[in-house]
Structure 1
Amino acid sequence: MGKSAGTVRFAVVGDIHVHKESGGTLRAFFGAASEAADALLLCGDLTDYGTAEEAQVLVDELSAVSVPIVAVLGNHDFESGTPEVVVDALARAGVRVLDGEAVEIEGVGIAGVKGFAGGFGRGSLGAWGEPAIKLFVQECLNEAMKLESALAKLRTPRRICMLHYSPIVGTVQGEPVEIFPFLGSSRLEEPLLRYPVDAIFHGHAHRGTLEGKTIGGVPVYNVAKPLLTRSWPERPPFRLFELPRD
Structure 2
Amino acid sequence: MQVVNWLPRTELPFAAPSRPELLEMPEPLVVAPLLPVSVAAPVAEAPAEPVIKPSERVKIEVPRPSLASTRSGAKVEEEAAPAVAKAPVVPPPRFALQLLRAGRCLLLVELPTGEPFQTRDPAYMLLKDMLRAAGLPDSPQIVGEPVRWPLLVRGTMDQGPEAARDFVQGFLSARIEDAPCVCLWLIGLPAVRFAGEANAESFNRELQVEGLGSVWALPGLELLMEEPQRKADVWQAMRRLMARWKESNE
TM-score by length of 1: 0.33
Q: Which has the larger radius of gyration?
A: 2
Whose relative contact order is higher, 1 or 2, with alpha carbons under 8 Å and at least 6 apart? 1
Query: Which protein has the bigger strand share?
Result: 1
TM-score by length of 2: 0.33
